[in-house]
Amino acid sequence: MAEATRGFGYWAVALLALIMMIFGLPILAGGVWLITLGGSWYYALAGLGLIASAFFLFRRSMTGVWIYLLTFAGTLVWALWEAGLDGWAQLPRLLAPTIVLVFVLLCIPNLRGRVGVPRGSMAAAALGIIGLGASAMVLTSVQYASTIAQEAPTPGPDAPLPPLPETVVETQYVALETGVDWPAYGGTHAALRYSPLTQITKENVGSLEQIWEFRTGDLPENDEPFGNQNTPVKVGDRLYLCSALNKISALDAATGAEFWTYDPQTPTDAIGYNASCRGLVYFEDTTASAGTLCAARVVNLTHDARMIALDTETGQLCPDFGNGGIVNLLEGIGDTAPGFYAPTSPPTLVRDVLVVGSQVSDGQTREAPSGVIRGYNAVTGDLDWAWDMGRPGEKGLPPEGEVYTPGTPNVWTIASGDDELGLVYLPMGNSAVDYWGGDRSEAENTYSTAIVALDVETGDVAWSYQTVHYDIWDYDLGGQGSLIDFPTPDGPVPAIIMPSKQAQFYILNRATGEPLVNIEERPAPTGGVEPERLSPTQPFVTDFPNLMKPDLTEKDMWGTTPLDQLWCRIQFRQAAYDGVYTPPTVDRPWIQYPGYNGGVDWGGVAIDPEKGIMITNYNDMPNYNQLVPREEVDALGILPITDPNYDAEAGGGSHGSISPQAMSPYGIRVNAGWRVPFTGLLCKQPPYGGIAAIDINTREVLWDRPFGSARKNGPFGLPTMLPIDIGTPNNGGGVITASGLFFIAAATDDILRAIDIETGEEIWQVELPAGGQATPMTYEAGGRQIVVINAGGHDFMETPIGDYFIAYALPAEESQ
C-alpha cells in the first residue's frame, strides 16, 4: 500500500482530525449529560462519530471518511425530523457539519486505501457531494410563515363591520387632531398613532430624502446608559423635542432651524434605567389672552424629578407655574438616591390636568419610592390630587414627616386620556420587588399590572382590570392604551386596547372597564417559592388574535454551532419550565417566556380607524432567571441603590446580572434574552421579534412576519451585514398614514422602514446614523408631509448611541 508523503496534505489531514477530536470530545460528553437530563440522544452519537472519524483520519484511512459520511447522513435525517425546512433552525444543526464534510472530502486524495480502491473513494465523494447539496438546500430555505397564536381565536362577527368611526370629542378643552400637526406623543392622547396625511404614498415613498438633521449634543461622556426615545410634538410651525438629558428645543418644523433650547442642567447621576426623554406635553391655556407669556406652553419631566413648563414662543420658564416654572416632584416622595425615582415618560393631559407617574428602578429594595400617581393643574402647577393606593381617601401631600406609600406599583410608561369621559388610563407597573410578593398589600395585589381608569377631576378610581394576577414576572403594562370605538355586534363601543408583554390585547369598554372580548381564566402553573400565594388562574383573551407563540421545547434551542446549541439544550433541560407563568424558583433556574421585554412593550400599537387595521411590533424572547438566596446576595456585596456603599459594578444596577431585591428573601439573577455567554447570541432560535397586522373588524391576523435584519447582529457582537430578516429584538413603535404606510425603526439594525399595512411588504428603507429605538411621527409643514425620527440608540439594546433628529420628505418638486 502506498505511503503518503509527509507534505502539506499529510499535515492538513492531521490538523482536521485534531479539530474533529477537539470538538467531538465535548459534544460526546455534553451529549451524555443531555441524555441523563432526558434530552436528545443525537449529540452523544454525533460526538462518538466525530471521534471515531478523527481516529481513522489520523491513521489516514478511508474508514474515517465513511464514518463521517454515516455521521453526516444521520445528522441530516435528524435535523430534518426536528426542524424541517426551516433555514434558521437548521443553521446550528447543519452549517458546521457541512463545513467539516467539505474538508473531509478534500482529504480523500491524501488517505491510505485511495489508490487501491478508487471506486470506493469515488463513491464516498459522490455521497458527500449529495450530502452537501441536501444541506445547502435546507440551509437556504428560510421560512417566514406567519404564526398567529397558540390556539386560533374563535371567529369574529360573520358579516364585516363598518369602518371604525373616528371619535370627535366636543368639549371645552382644546381638541387635538393629527394631520397638519402632531400635538401629543401618540398623535393625540387617544394614542392611535395615525395621521390622515396622504402626500407620501406607496407609489412615491421610494423618493423620500433627508431634508434636515438636528443634533442635541447630549451624548454619554463616560459609561452612562443613554438611549433617548423621543417622539416630538408639532403644533403650528414649530416642532418641540427633548434630549436624553431633558434639554427642550423648539425648531422650525419645515427646516429644522433652531428657535430656542432650554437646558435644565440634569445631572448624569440622576439617570435611572437610561437617559431618555420619551416625550413632552403641549398645552394651550384657554383662559389666557393670546400672545401672553405661556398662553401656549410645553411641559417636560426631568430625570431628577422636576416638572418644567416653558413658553412655546420664547422658551422662558412660566413664572406662574409651580415655583417659577418648576414643580418639585420629590415632594412627598422623600429623600431618595439619584436615579432611583427618575421620570422618562411625559405627563398625560386630560381636562387641563397633568397626570404624572415615574420610573422607579427595578429590583433594588422593597422600600422603594412610591408609585403614587398625581394630578397637577396645567395652568398653575398646583397639586389637584394624589392617588396613593396605600392611603385611600387621602388626596393631598402626606402629613409632615411622612411620605407616599413606598414600594407601590408605578406608571413608568405613557398613559392615555379621554376628555369627554374625564378619565385617564394608567398602564400599571409592578410592586417594588418584581419577583417576590410575600408582603404585598391587598391594594398592591389589586392594582399591580392592571389597567386603572382614574377620574381626573378627583383622582378616584373609576374602574380597574388586572391583566396578570399576583405578578411575580415583571409583566408590567408597558404600552400606552389606544382609544377607539370598537366594533361589536351591537354597534361601536368606546374602548381601550391595551397590549401586554405576553402579546395579548385586552379590549375593554373605556367608560366601565367591562371586557368587549372574551377573557377566560385558565389554570396557571404552580410551585416555586411561594405556591400558596400564586393565583391558580390567569386571564387569556380567546376571541381576538394574540401574538403569543407556542411553548418552548428542546428543539427550539439555537446557536451558531452544535456546541452552543448543545449548551442551550442542557440549560433548557436543567430549568423549570411549564409554559407561560412558570413561577420563580431558587433551587434551579426557570425559563420565563415571553421575557419581561415583551410581547408588546412601550411602543404600543398603531390603528388606522378608517381601514380598521391595527399594527404592532413585538419581541419573541425568553429570559433565563433564578432567585438567589439573601445570604448569597449579601455575600457577593450586591447592595441596593439606596445603600451608602452601593457599587453598580458589583451588580444590582439597572443592567446588573443580579439585582438585590433588598428587604425580601431573595435577589434575582436575570439573563435577559437568555444569551449564550461565549457568543452573545440567544439560546432560542430566531425570530426574536416580529411585526403583525390585525383586522379589528374581522378579528383576523392579516400578516405576521419577522421584523429586523441580521445586518448589525452576529456572534461575539460582530455585525454579519446580512440583509436577511432574522427578526431582531425591538423597542419603539410606529405611525400609520391614511395612504396605507406604516413607518417604523425600532429594530436593532438601525433602519427606518416604510411598510405596506395591507401586505406587510417593506417598500422603503433608510439607514440611520444611530439606533432608532423611538417612535417616529409625521406632520405637514411648508406644503410637504414630513416624517421625523429620533436616532438616539439604546445602551441595553446595544445599538449605536446618537443625538440625532432626522426629517424625511419627498423632493420639493414632488410635494406640490
CA atoms of 625 and 231, how far apart (whole Å): 33
Q: What mean pLDDT do residues 670-696 have?
A: 93
pLDDT at position 258 over 70? yes
Top pLDDT among 519 and 142 is at 519
CATH of 194-551+593-622+673-814, one of 3.90.1570.10, 2.140.10.10, 3.40.190.170, 3.30.750.24: 2.140.10.10
Instruction: Write down the pLDDT at residue 88.
Output: 85
List pLDDT tens digits, range 760-796: 999 999 999 999 999 999 999 999 999 999 999 999 8
For residues 240-264, average pLDDT? 98
At residue 729, the pLDDT reads 94
Lowest mean pLDDT among 105-114, 262-271, 568-577: 105-114
Share above pLDDT 70 across residues of the chain, in percent, rounded to a whole number? 91
Q: Does residue 304 have an active-site annotation?
A: no
Q: How far is residue 362's CA from residue 369's CA, in Å, rounded to a whole number?
A: 11
Q: Any alpha helices (H) in 644-692, and if so which ranges?
A: none
**Cell reading at 169:** 370629542
- What DSSP state is assigned to residue 74? H
| Pair type for strands 194-195 and 734-737 | parallel
What per-residue confidence (pLDDT) applies to 244?
Answer: 96
Span 553-574, average pLDDT? 95
- Where does the pLDDT of residue 715 fall: very low under 50, low under 70, confident under 90, or very high at 90 and above? confident
Is the alpha carbon torsion for 624, 147, 499, 602 positive or negative?
positive
Question: pLDDT tens for residues 342-356?
Answer: 999 999 999 999 999
Q: Which residue has the higher pLDDT, 381 or 2?
A: 381
How do 450-455 and 423-427 pair as beta strands?
Answer: antiparallel
Domain extent listing, the chain: 8-139, 194-551+593-622+673-814
Q: How many CB atoms lie within 10 A of CB 94?
A: 26
What stretch of H or E contains 137? helix 118-139
**Lookup: cell for 361:** 428602578
Please tell me the distance from the alpha carbon of residue 549 to that of residue 552, in angstroms, as a whole number. Answer: 8
Out of 474, 601, 608, 725, which one is annotated catalytic? 474
pLDDT for residue 468 is more than 90:
yes
What are the CA-CA distances from residue 404 to residues 370, 398, 409, 429, 461 (Å)?
Answer: 6, 6, 12, 17, 17
Q: Using CA atoms, how far apart are residues 102 and 458, in angstroms rounded to an integer?
A: 74
Burial 485-517 (b: 16+ CB within 10 A, else e): bbbbeeebbbbbbbbbbbbbbbbbbbbebeebb
pLDDT at 656 over 60: no
Cα separation, 373 vs 456, in Å, equals 11
Nearest to 599, CA basis, from 690, 502, 468: 502
Give the integer Cα–Cα distance in Å for 444 and 12. 67
What digits encode the pLDDT tens for the residues 414-423? 999 999 999 9
Q: How many Cα neighbours within 13 Å face the side chain of 310? A: 26
Please write down the HEC assignment for all residues of 253-298: CCCCCEEEEECCCCCHHHCCCCECCCCCEEEECCCCCCCCCCCEEE
What secondary structure does DSSP assign to 503-544, as a single string? S-EEEEETTT--BSS-EEEEE----SS-TTTS-SEEEEE-SS
pLDDT band at 2 (very low <50, low <70, confident <90, very high): very low
More confident residue, 703 or 110: 703
pLDDT at 167 over 60: no
Summarize pLDDT for 75-86 with one digit per residue, the tens.
999 999 999 988
pLDDT at residue 147 in the model: 39
